[in-house]
Chain A
Amino acid sequence: MRWAATIRPRRHLFIKGSVRPRKGEGQPQTAAGEGEPWAREARGDGAVMQWMKARVREFVKRRRRWAYYTLALLLAGCAIATAAWTAPPVTQAAFVRAPHLDVTLLAMVTARDGTGQDGHRTIWLGLRFQPEAGWHIYWRNPGDSGAPPMVKWELPPGWTAGELEWPVPERLGTAPIVDYGYSNDMMLLTPVRANGPSTGGAAGQVAASVEWTVCSEVCLEGKARLSVSTPAPGSAAEQEKVLAGALARLPKPMPAAWRAHVEDTGSEFVLTVVTGRGESKATFFPETPEQVENDASQEIQSLRDGMRLRLRKSNGLLKPMGTLAGVLEIGGKGYEIHAPVRRQTGGRGER
């Protein structure tokens, strides 16, 4: 991924480097101003001597100023060199190595998303998060603790970003605290409608201000501004491959032939999904917090044509719900589920 592995130098390195010499620069001016000893000595001398001394004084003053200028330049040069050494200059993509987490912004224009009939074009922006081993970031519903990454896009005028699309998460941790997140390489995707021919296809500079929480046993906050220009260089085939990989990890809409419903027993939501075959492994990720107890184990019952999953209702759920929404991972794939909730009648429900 040549087009993704470039780095934008951190701007504060430059600021620090250039501020320091400037501070020093101010001091000699007062020290070498109307220097008292010089002035007093010069009083008794002849005009030529006075002129010579004045020239010498000026020369020293100028030399000193030059010395400071040189020093300033040297320091600035060092700062640039250091920045360049740690971060080669970038043009097309952005990458940040933060503590315990690498973040990359990618722009993917693929043949498939070519210019539409209305002259607009869809490009995909990807934010790739690579947590260090043992660290994780969070899903949009982070579960019992943590916080999802937040993204603010800066797009060329007339461009519009769609919703963030999240890959299927994992259950992290053990009772009493279970979170939903990602402990491996993952990519958030956003489709962007770019202005068409007037701007020469999908050419423009795109930036993302990203804030995240990365945790292992403890949590750290991080933020970065990444930018990338589109169309991204590199082969379309390569971009297509990366995009296809990321898209494959997004949950799909539930197949039309499937059926899902929820029975509210008072203390549990019993989610039944008919898939057409016996299922023995499934995990449900609730869309909305405070509906399902995150730390409760999800007991599965395999059915001839699907499965039944018992989800303990959250203590925080005060009102009855019409629909239980979330992502169901089944057979290694994720599906968006919107299951109508029925109150169990004649049961020993709470009320």
Chain B
Amino acid sequence: MKRSVKKRFKWTCGAALVVLAAMAARGDSSQPAKVGQAAPDFTAPDSFGQRHHLLDYRGKFVVLEWHNNGCPFTRKHYESGNMERLQKEWTAKGVIWLTVISSAPGKQGYVTPSQENDYLAKMDATPTAALLDPSGQLGRLYDAKTTPDMYVINPQGVLIYTGAIDNRPTADQADIQGAENYVSEALTNAMAGLPVRTPVTRPYGCSVKYGN
């Protein structure tokens, strides 16, 4: 009797573990994006029409950057060249950098694929891809609040950083010099096998311009 209970317990536990593992691997979309847990999986098209599946990037670091080209906080980092520099630096080190635009049609920052490609060329911005999310589905999945709102996912698919790009929550380009960049810090530490020093910060900037 006792043994059978034990056995049943083992089975139940085992089954639960399998389910949990499966959920983690899938990045179950009902779970919110939370640091220390599996990053929710997604598939989204980029400005060239190519589809990106998060799961395909397992084994690599992935950065998600929420973007709105009309937001003064986003412009601070683009017009100063800071964001472009970060994109170049980290993609050169094998990081997948996905810029995400969740502005709904008619709202600030909404772009068509060709408008986005023109913008990328004009700014000499070289993320791995710019994902277009006019429905806001991807934004809501990650609970993206601001532009820029930054996420770092490790090669195991676990979210290791969410929040602001740096510790100067202003729209002033002069504040970039000397700021502590949380994204670079997370990537540097994680690549060195160290824990991320500041895994969560309050993202700053304009609200993401979701549709109603």
Q: Which A positions have Cβ atoms within 8 angstroms of B?
A: 144-147, 150, 173, 176-177, 179, 211, 213, 215, 217-221, 289-290, 315-318
Contacts and interface: CB of A to CB of B under 8 A. Distances in A.
Given A144-B145, A177-B145, A215 B206 contact: yes
22 contacts: A144-B146, A145-B146, A145-B207, A146-B206, A147-B171, A150-B170, A173-B207, A176-B140, A176-B143, A177-B145, A215-B206, A217-B108, A219-B73, A219-B206, A220-B72, A221-B171, A290-B201, A290-B202, A315-B32, A315-B35, A316-B162, A316-B163
Given A145-B146, A215-B206, A315 B34 contact: yes
Contact of A289 (B71, B73, B202, B207): B202
Given A145-B145, A176-B143, A318 B206 contact: no
Contacts of B209: 217
A316 B200 CA distance: 6
Interface string B171-212: 110000000000000000000000000011111111111100
A35 B205 CA distance: 61
Contacts of B162: 315-316
Contacts of A220: 72
Nearest to A150: B170
B76 to A, nearest CB: 9
B204 A147 contact: yes
B210 A177 contact: yes
B105 interface: no
Given A145-B205, A317-B200, 10 more contacts: A145-B204, A145-B208, A146-B207, A147-B204, A176-B140, A177-B208, A219-B72, A219-B206, A315-B33, A315-B35
B113 interface: no
Contacts of B36: 318
B107 interface: yes
A218 B108 contact: yes
Contacts of A316: 35, 162-163, 200, 202
A289 B162 CA distance: 13
A176 B209 CA distance: 10
B70 interface: yes
Contacts of A289: 202
Contacts of A315: 32-35, 143, 162
A145 B170 contact: no
Contact of B200 (A144, A219, A318): A318
